[in-house]
Structure formats: structure tokens, C-alpha cells
Amino acid sequence: MFKRLWECLTVWSVPPTSLRGAQAILAHAAGENSPSDPGIVNEFLAGLIRQLYQELKVPVIIQGELKSCLSDVPLTAVSPRQEETTPNYINTFDIALWQKAECDKLGAKHVVLVSFYPHYWRAMKATEKVGLTVLVPPGLKEMYDPNNSQKWARYKWVNRLYELFLARPYFLLKGWV
């Protein structure tokens, strides 16, 4: 528990791993700027997913906010967007559980996880907690969008404080990381 708490407080990036044996690409999205604007973070993530799909040719399972950016990639499964589930909030662990269920349908256990920093560490730990082995791709970035619908994801200092004092401790207490 102490080791995981220490990671919650200190780990802001994760080194890439080998992608050998990847059976699926999973992606967590940032909030959209609006229903018609996915935002620069989601556009970046879509570019990374596209590149990984071209290289790996494995099923792609994404959070719904990325769908509009990926019309040229065959998508195996797409979650609802936050806008479609309001007032209920789909958190990172909810997405990890949903993605695990989709991977179970495919028999996939080794997954390439795509997301952005500083959210990535929490997404990776939640994905591992549900029983998947995470392969970390190269090219992940720490990104912010001043127009993001999620106020805590607009600026570095706000997002780091959100992760440090709210999101990560909450996930740790819930046993989700």
C-alpha cells in the first residue's frame, strides 16, 4: 500500500515497453470541447491510435469521445460519450471495466493502452487492476486543452493538483489502482 501511495504522489510518466504480443488497442479519451469538437488532446490520441493500428492490426476499443477522430480505423467497440450518460459520470475505472469485458469477448489479455499524461498512470493501474496486461506505446504526451469541457483538464497545474489530491487518492482508497 505504501509503495502504491508513493507512486500516486510521484509517478507522472511511464516508459514505453515492447508491444510484442499485443492483442488489442485500448484508449481512454480526454473530455470533448463540445459535441462537435473533440479537442486537440483527443485528436492527438487518435493519431497515435491510427499509427498503432497500422503497425499492429489488432482490435481497437475506445472511449466514445475519440470516435469522431477515427472514421478511417475499424473500431471493435466504442463506449458511450460522457454527454450521452449525463448526469452519470463514466470514470476511468468504469472505462477499464467496460474495456475488460470487451477484451474478454475477444480473448485478449495483452493490450496497448493509449491515453495522455498525467492521466495515463491512473488509467494503466486501473486497467491492470481489472486483469489486463498493459503494453505502453511510445509517443505518449502530457497535454492540456484550454477549451476542454472538463475544467480540471485545461491546464497543467490544475490537472496535476486534481490527480495528486483528488483522483489518485480516491482511486487508491477505492482499490481501483
pLDDT digits (tens, 9 = 90+) for 63-104: 999 999 999 999 999 999 887 777 777 899 999 999 999 999
For 3-61, how does the pLDDT look when each residue is reduced to its tens digit (9 = 90+)? 888 998 899 999 999 999 999 999 999 999 988 899 999 999 999 999 999 999 999 99
- For the chain, which domains are there? 19-151 (3.40.50.620)
pLDDT of residue 139: 97
Long-range contacts of 165-172 (CB under 8 A, 24+ apart): 167/92, 167/122, 168/8, 168/9, 168/121, 168/122, 169/8, 171/92, 171/93, 171/122, 171/125, 171/126, 172/4, 172/5, 172/8
